[in-house]
Amino acid sequence: MNPSLSELQEQATQAIAGADDLNALDQVRVSYLGKKGAIKALLKQTGALAPEERRPFGQAVNALRDAVTTELEARKATLQAQAEAARLEAGWLDVTLPADTPRVGKEHPITGLLREVTDHFHGLGFTVASGPEIEDAFHNFDALNIPANHPARDVWDTFYTEEGGIPRTHTSSVQIRTLEKATLPLRIIAPGKCFRNETIDATHLAAFNQCEGLFIDKNVTVGHLKATLEGLVERLMGYKVPTRFRPAFYPFVEPGLDLDIECIFCKGSGCSICKHSGWIEVIPCGMVHPNVLRACGHDPEEWNGFAFGMGFDRMVMLRYGIDDLRRLYDGNLELVRGL
């Protein structure tokens, strides 16, 4: 390279490296590449050269111009990045940055299940009934065919308020509240809170949720009960899960039954969750005891029906694969798988 050209390039390189902000760099650019800049001036000299020198000189100046342009661009990028970093450091808001994904709320799984159960039973002509959470002995026990001195009362670990009220131990009390006022036939579900003096662990809470169901009509059979509850578990589990009914004792039904579904975790082959039985108990139920109808002023010769009392929290556990009920009340549902 022509010595004056290589000198010029050397100078330009130093000037570019020495420019420590974008304004200074632009001045360097103008002084080399501008209309009155050093490189333009060189090109103007071309005409004064001998014809055979013009071409190589022109090429050399062009190469110099390209090299200086590349260096200027590189330095400009560096200075821009530095300026950007300094602005961010100073708390400058860059509106071109991608936004954070907002954290949105989600429906609580218990609310979700409640909505779905309610929707399912609305489709079958049921309405939603409710009753007080603090009950009296008549509605929580007596009218449900559980006499005062009967050992069955001890099955429910009952709390008592100082005034002698009974935080209801089950939603079955709503059967009584509703039957007392009802004209038959009748189809209701009654979701709600219940309270028992339980030691709290992964599968027991002292305040928990149940959903009662009551269907009273003429000539109701176990077939109606079976079809209704099988339809419900299919809807809630999302597939035609195998079921079985086992005899069980509840004073307010005769016969009393427990509906089991095939264990959804091991598909019946046996695992720790189903205690190696292959089945999980989900809905206690039965045909309404004539004494219950009688206690509420209805004639059991004319009317009969079925009832059930689904453990709501347990159903939520199964549906969402939650292994510890306490998680539902943690406040941090992100811990719950599948939500």
Residues that bind ligand DAH (CB under 6 A): 170, 172, 212, 250, 253, 256, 284-286, 307-309
By Cβ distance, which residue is nearest to ligand DAH? 309
Catalytic one of 253, 288, 292, 295: 253
Specify the residue, 28 or 257, whose C-beta has the smaller distance to ligand DAH. Answer: 257
Class of residue 148 by CB neighbours under 10 A (exposed 0-12, middle 13-18, buried 19+): exposed
Question: Any catalytic annotation for residue 295?
Answer: no
Catalytic one of 210, 233, 282, 316: 210
| Nearest CA among 225, 221, 224, 243 for reference residue 234 | 243
Catalytic one of 65, 196, 314, 327: 196
Measured from the CB of residue 325, what is the shortest distance to ligand DAH in angstroms? 16
For residue 253, the cross-strand partners are: 288
Question: Any catalytic annotation for residue 227?
Answer: no
Specify the residue, 32 or 141, whose C-beta has the smaller distance to ligand DAH. Answer: 141
Question: Any catalytic annotation for residue 170?
Answer: yes
Question: Any catalytic annotation for residue 298?
Answer: no
Measured from the CB of residue 284, what is the shortest distance to ligand DAH in angstroms? 3
Question: Any catalytic annotation for residue 117?
Answer: no
Catalytic one of 61, 190, 233, 307: 307
Measured from the CB of residue 142, what is the shortest distance to ligand DAH in angstroms? 14
Catalytic one of 29, 65, 168, 170: 170
Q: Write the CA distances from 12 to 19, 28, 37, 56, 308, integer angstroms.
A: 11, 8, 11, 21, 90
Question: Any catalytic annotation for residue 253?
Answer: yes
Specify the residue, 19 or 174, whose C-beta has the smaller distance to ligand DAH. Answer: 174
Measured from the CB of residue 286, what is the shortest distance to ligand DAH in angstroms? 4
Q: Write the CA distances from 186 to 181, 217, 294, 301, integer angstroms.
A: 11, 7, 15, 16
Measured from the CB of residue 297, what is the shortest distance to ligand DAH in angstroms? 19
Specify the residue, 109 or 305, whose C-beta has the smaller distance to ligand DAH. Answer: 305
- Find out whether 200 and 226 touch, Cβ atoms under 8 Å: no
Specify the residue, 9 or 169, whose C-beta has the smaller distance to ligand DAH. Answer: 169
Measured from the CB of residue 328, what is the shortest distance to ligand DAH in angstroms? 19
Measured from the CB of residue 194, what is the shortest distance to ligand DAH in angstroms? 7
**Within 13 Å, how many C-alpha atoms sit on residue 234's CB side?**
9
> Per the omega criterion (within 30 degrees of 0), is the bond before 109 cis?
no
Specify the residue, 19 or 167, whose C-beta has the smaller distance to ligand DAH. Answer: 167
Rounded Cα distance between 252 and 139, Å, is 12
Rounded Cα distance between 218 and 202, Å, is 42
Catalytic residues: 156, 170, 196, 210, 253, 307
